[in-house]
């Protein structure tokens, strides 16, 4: 199966996106198609042996839209926007004159006698002709509503434009019908007094103008939701200084290749991901991490594209360029997440898919009901047009994607990358949070704290441990070797070296077989004094590495991984959000419980002695209500290592800390760029804020239509004399879409600090 992204043009509402999806899925071999209305894209999954991009594009074209292979990032088109505004201004000016002619006399404004509708003769006919002359240009200027709407109807996929075209078109045609009657009456000397009030030309003109005004405001607001991706892409400088053949030259940033030496001066932007090879300075990485405090950089430090060297001078080796840079990958993640659909949106999409045909049916029934009731053709047309115009799926279709896009963009600006709308929605329901210890709750930098020997020869024990750990890539092994080197203790090569995953290492040193690892692996038994020392070390949260000689415990090397400064606060925030926090670790129970106490994690929430390949099973056990987790609750797993990847994929939502491996990050549903566990709590708060906005938008959209359709149909007219005009209906429809988008835009001001203050204020 192949997944391809297509750029779709011509969509205006959720009914359009539903029609495009149906068209794509109708192609043999296409298994799924998902349209992102705001992004103007579609992701189609298909069997390349059966379907092709050309076939999918053709099917979308037959449905009345345009599709091209590839993604075109949405940016504001000033030229097109100016044309739209110009059309709106001209149309509005004509409508103002039209409104003066049709309604000015109601408030005492004068009209020339030759077109006074209250006079006899040809005056009403002249009045009708002038109204027609003013309305026709407005219809032509906004002709895309009519052409697109009718095209969609002919392709059996009616949309918002179909409703507008039908409503405005019906008003215009009825106005022409009344105009003909007025001219006949004038020519035959018949009575035409009062007939100009039935022309509906003002409705035919004002409907597209008010809709255009609403769409212009909506488009202006919607573009703000796409700025996160555009801004990220514009962060990296367009040019860079590099060293070639001993000279510093300026080149386009696009021409930088991995391995080039990049020169960055104070105040300069970092053009690509690179590693400092000489020099030092302070770097503002707020664009990547959201942290405003500059970070000191020196030889060996990494620099991310888009960050700014605020002081100093560095030479750096380019490691990632172009689309592979951190900022480009973040932009891609934000765009992908913004284009995805949350589960709650699928209900809205299903309703939108059948919405327009249902509204047309209601309008027809309304027209027939008022005719049967004897209200007259004019009143029946007015009520039917009101139903068509006020009922639009725009607000329903915009309710979720605008909030998701704003939320994902705000998260990205603060170092919280959420890969999909599905993950964003699920995070808010988090009930159990499982977190790995090493590198997640702790710094991931082991340090040797104690060396204990059964015979009092600590240096010999340390030398043996360093020899066994010399070839190990495990953090404990590196810590032991580093400590031995700092003490100047030799570490001879161990023969017959074997590493046992999750247990330890063994080898022969001086004809003696040694083992280093946990107690079970090392074997042997502990003397009374060594037993006490082991218990003490474990009780202090240290990890004891047992050294055995020919099956007998010879000593202990204790290591400890320092707990991050923010981990305890993060655990408290997660618990304040109503989540149960559980820790997974390979440490023995005593050591794990000691670490848990420091973090504020209860004994029953610590799962110890978990081997690397057992984390996946542990997550499954928690998800199934086992391992003391009780009933099934939405489970979040947080980790950073290669061995965390399966468990991250297994959980309902997997979160990788940014300093973790690429494998863990690829397997996760969200990434914490700053490697700060508090951001996991922030991600949950962000999810809940986004979903609250989504629910508000959907509630507004649903109740707007539930309340307004009966009102537009005139159910309150017989008992209370309350009714709408097509102009008011058009204004109300436009207002509903603008309201939904504006409500979602509140999320652009979201910050973790505001979310924390709000959480503490709700306690």
Q: Secondary structure of 328-387 in the HEC alphabet?
A: HHHHHHHHHHHHCCCHHHHHHHHHHHHHHHHHHHHHHHHHHHHHHCCCCHHHHHHHHHHH
DSSP 439: I
Whether 312 has a pLDDT exceeding 60, the answer reads: yes
329 lies in some domain: no
Q: Which residue has the higher pLDDT, 487 or 641?
A: 487
Predicted pLDDT at 435:
92
Predicted pLDDT at 499:
85
Whether 676 has a pLDDT exceeding 80, the answer reads: yes
295 lies in some domain: yes
- Name the packing angle between helices 160-188 and 343-372 (round to 10°): 20
547 lies in some domain: yes
Three-state SS at 31:
strand
**Of 258-262, 286-290, 603-607, minimum mean pLDDT range:** 286-290
Give the sign of the dihedral formed by CA 302, CA 304, CA 305, CA 310. negative
Whether 192 has a pLDDT exceeding 80, the answer reads: no
63 shares a domain with 86: no
Predicted pLDDT at 660:
53
Predicted pLDDT at 581:
94
Averaged pLDDT for residues 478-486:
90
The rounded distance, in Å, linking the Cα atoms of 110 and 322 is: 67
pTM above 0.85, yes or no: no
465 shares a domain with 603: no
Q: What are the CA-CA distances from residue 380 to residues 131, 561, 656, 712 (Å)?
A: 22, 78, 61, 11
278 shares a domain with 156: no
**Of 261-265, 278-282, 289-293, 579-583, minimum mean pLDDT range:** 289-293
97 shares a domain with 52: no
18 lies in some domain: yes
CATH number, domain of 21, equals: 3.30.70.100
DSSP 269: B
Predicted pLDDT at 292:
65
* Predicted confidence (pLDDT) per residue in 505-553, tens digit: 899 998 889 999 888 888 877 778 888 888 888 888 888 899 998 888 8
Q: How sure is the predictor about 219, in pLDDT bands with cuts at 50, 70 and 90?
A: low
Cβ-Cβ contacts under 8 Å for 378 (sequence gap 6 or more): 174, 178, 198, 200
The C-alpha angle with vertex 719 and arms to 715 and 720, in degrees rounded to 5, equals: 95
* Predicted confidence (pLDDT) per residue in 226-283, tens digit: 555 556 556 668 889 999 888 899 998 888 999 999 999 998 889 999 999 999 999 9
How many Cβ atoms are within 10 Å of 693's Cβ, its own excluded?
24
Nearest CA to 363 out of 144, 170, 142 is that of: 170
The C-alpha angle with vertex 736 and arms to 733 and 742, in degrees rounded to 5, equals: 145
Predicted pLDDT at 290:
62
* Among 260, 284, 422, 436, the one annotated catalytic: 436
Domain end, chosen from 562, 580, 600, is at 562
* Predicted confidence (pLDDT) per residue in 562-572, tens digit: 888 899 999 99
579 shares a domain with 520: no
* Predicted confidence (pLDDT) per residue in 32-50, tens digit: 898 877 677 888 999 999 9
The rounded distance, in Å, linking the Cα atoms of 628 and 414 is: 34
Q: Quick check: 271 and 256 in contact, CB under 8 A?
A: yes
CATH number, domain of 522, equals: 3.40.1110.10
142 lies in some domain: yes
**Of 637-641, 683-687, 734-738, minimum mean pLDDT range:** 734-738
Q: What are the CA-CA distances from residue 236 to residues 137, 201, 272, 326, 466 (Å)?
A: 47, 53, 7, 11, 44
88 shares a domain with 192: yes
Q: Among residues of the chain, what percentage have pLDDT more than 70?
A: 90
Q: Quick check: 730 and 394 in contact, CB under 8 A?
A: no
Measure CA 594 to chain center.
38
Domain enclosing residue 261, as ranges: 237-324
Three-state SS at 234:
coil
The rounded distance, in Å, linking the Cα atoms of 425 and 675 is: 22
* Predicted confidence (pLDDT) per residue in 111-170, tens digit: 888 888 777 788 888 989 999 999 999 999 999 888 888 887 887 777 778 888 888 888
The rounded distance, in Å, linking the Cα atoms of 700 and 566 is: 40
Indicate the pairing of strand 66-69 with strand 261-265.
unpaired
Terminal Cα distance for the chain, rounded = 49
Q: Which residue has the higher pLDDT, 478 or 55?
A: 55
CATH number, domain of 657, equals: 3.40.50.1000
Q: How sure is the predictor about 73, in pLDDT bands with cuts at 50, 70 and 90?
A: very low
222 shares a domain with 94: yes
Q: Quick check: 41 and 339 in contact, CB under 8 A?
A: yes
Q: How sure is the predictor about 664, in pLDDT bands with cuts at 50, 70 and 90?
A: low
522 shares a domain with 451: yes
* Predicted confidence (pLDDT) per residue in 385-429, tens digit: 889 888 766 777 777 888 888 888 888 888 888 888 888 999 999
Q: Which residue has the higher pLDDT, 587 or 272?
A: 272
Cβ-Cβ contacts under 8 Å for 303 (sequence gap 6 or more): 264, 270, 273, 274, 275, 276, 283, 297, 309, 314, 316
Q: Has 436 been annotated as catalytic?
A: yes
Nearest CA to 428 out of 199, 3, 755 is that of: 755
The rounded distance, in Å, linking the Cα atoms of 98 and 135 is: 8
CATH number, domain of 251, equals: 2.70.150.10
Predicted pLDDT at 735:
80
DSSP for 539-591 reads HTT-EEEEEEETTEEEEEEEEEEEEPTTHHHHHHHHHHTTPEEEEE-SS-HHH
702 lies in some domain: no
How many separate domains does the chain show? 5
Q: What are phi and psi of 521, to 5 degrees?
A: -75, -45
196 shares a domain with 242: no
Q: Which residue has the higher pLDDT, 352 or 704?
A: 704
Domain end, chosen from 294, 324, 354, is at 324
757 lies in some domain: no
Domain end, chosen from 510, 538, 562, is at 562
The rounded distance, in Å, linking the Cα atoms of 676 and 564 is: 8
710 lies in some domain: no
Q: How sure is the predictor about 75, in pLDDT bands with cuts at 50, 70 and 90?
A: very low
The rounded distance, in Å, linking the Cα atoms of 246 and 242 is: 10
554 shares a domain with 641: no
Q: How sure is the predictor about 74, in pLDDT bands with cuts at 50, 70 and 90?
A: very low
Predicted pLDDT at 627:
58
557 shares a domain with 447: yes
299 shares a domain with 210: no
Q: Quick check: 338 and 409 in contact, CB under 8 A?
A: yes
Three-state SS at 9:
strand
Nearest CA to 760 out of 598, 492, 576, 536 is that of: 576
């Amino acid at each position: 199966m192949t997944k391809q992204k297509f750029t779709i043009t011509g969509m205006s509402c959720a009914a359009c996106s539903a029609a495009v999806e149906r068209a794509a899925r109708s192609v043999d071999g296409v298994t799924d198609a998902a349209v992102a209305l705001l992004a103007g894209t579609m992701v189609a999954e298909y069997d390349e042996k059966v379907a092709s991009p050309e076939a999918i594009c053709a099917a979308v074209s037959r449905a009345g839209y345009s599709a091209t292979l590839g993604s075109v990032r949405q940016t504001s088109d000033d030229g097109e926007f100016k044309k739209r505004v110009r059309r709106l201004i001209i149309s509005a000016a004509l409508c103002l004159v039209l409104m003066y002619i049709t309604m000015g006399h109601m408030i005492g404004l004068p009209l020339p006698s030759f077109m006074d509708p209250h006079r006899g003769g040809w005056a009403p006919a002249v009045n009708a002709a002038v109204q027609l002359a003013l309305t026709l240009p407005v219809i032509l200027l906004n002709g895309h509503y009519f052409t697109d709407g009718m095209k969609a109807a002919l392709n059996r996929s009616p949309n918002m434009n179909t409703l507008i075209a039908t409503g405005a078109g019906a008003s215009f045609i009825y106005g022409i019908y009344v105009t003909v009657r007025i001219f006949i009456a004038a020519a035959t000397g018949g009575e035409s007094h009062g007939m100009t009030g039935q022309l509906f030309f003002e409705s035919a003109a004002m409907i597209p103008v008010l809709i255009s005004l609403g769409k212009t405001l909506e488009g202006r607001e919607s573009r703000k939701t796409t700025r996160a991706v555009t801004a990220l892409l514009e962060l990296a400088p367009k040019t860079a200084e590099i060293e070639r053949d001993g000279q510093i030259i300026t080149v386009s940033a696009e021409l930088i290749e991995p391995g080039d030496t990049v020169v960055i001066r104070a105040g300069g932007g970092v053009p690509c991901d690179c590693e400092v090879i000489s020099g030092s300075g302070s770097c503002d990485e707020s664009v990547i991490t959201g942290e405003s405090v500059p970070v000191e950089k020196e030889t060996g430090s990494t620099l991310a594209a888009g960050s700014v060297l605020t002081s100093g001078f560095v030479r750096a080796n380019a490691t990632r360029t172009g689309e592979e840079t951190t900022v480009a990958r973040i932009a891609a993640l934000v765009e992908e997440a913004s284009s995805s659909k949350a589960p709650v949106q699928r209900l809205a999409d299903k309703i939108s898919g059948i919405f327009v045909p249902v509204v047309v049916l209601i309008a027809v029934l309304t027209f027939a009901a008022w005719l049967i009731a004897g209200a007259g053709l004019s009143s029946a047309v007015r009520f039917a047009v009101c139903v068509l115009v006020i009922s639009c799926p725009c607000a329903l279709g915009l309710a979720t994607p605008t909030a998701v896009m704003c939320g994902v963009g705000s998260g990205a600006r603060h170092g919280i990358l959420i890969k999909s709308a599905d993950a964003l929605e699920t995070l808010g329901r988090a009930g159990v949070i499982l977190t790995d210890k090493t590198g997640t709750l702790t710094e991931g930098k082991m340090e040797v704290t104690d060396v204990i020997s059964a015979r009092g020869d600590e240096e010999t024990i340390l030398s043996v441990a360093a020899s066994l750990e010399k070839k190990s890539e495990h953090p404990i092994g590196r810590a032991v070797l580093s400590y031995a080197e700092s003490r100047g203790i030799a570490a001879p090569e161990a023969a017959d070296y074997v590493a046992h995953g999750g247990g330890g290492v063994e080898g022969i040193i001086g004809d003696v077989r040694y083992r280093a690892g946990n107690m079970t692996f090392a074997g042997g038994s502990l003397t009374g004094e060594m037993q006490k020392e082991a218990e003490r070390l474990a009780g202090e949260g240290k990890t004891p590495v047992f050294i055995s000689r020919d099956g007998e415990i010879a000593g202990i090397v204790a290591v400890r991984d320092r707990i991050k400064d923010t981990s305890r606060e993060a655990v408290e925030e997660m618990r304040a959000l109503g989540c149960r926090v559980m820790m997974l670790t390979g440490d023995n129970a005593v050591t794990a419980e000691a670490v848990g106490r420091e973090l504020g994690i209860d004994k029953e929430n610590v799962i110890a002695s978990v081997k690397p390949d057992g984390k996946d099973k542990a997550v499954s056990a928690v998800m199934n209500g086992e391992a003391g987790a009780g009933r099934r609750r939405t489970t979040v797993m947080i980790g950073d290592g290669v061995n965390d990847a399966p468990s991250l994929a297994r959980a309902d939502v997997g979160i990788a800390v940014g300093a973790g491996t690429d494998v863990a990050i690829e397997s996760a549903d969200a990434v914490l760029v700053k490697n700060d566990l508090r951001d996991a709590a922030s991600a949950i708060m962000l999810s809940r804020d986004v979903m609250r906005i989504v629910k508000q938008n959907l509630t507004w959209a649903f109740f707007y239509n539930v309340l307004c359709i009966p009102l537009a149909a005139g159910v309150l007219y017989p008992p209370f004399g309350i009714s709408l005009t097509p102009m008011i209906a058009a204004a109300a429809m436009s207002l509903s879409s603008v309201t939904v988008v504006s409500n979602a835009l509140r999320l652009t001001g979201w910050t973790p600090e505001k979310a924390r203050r709000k959480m503490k204020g709700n306690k």
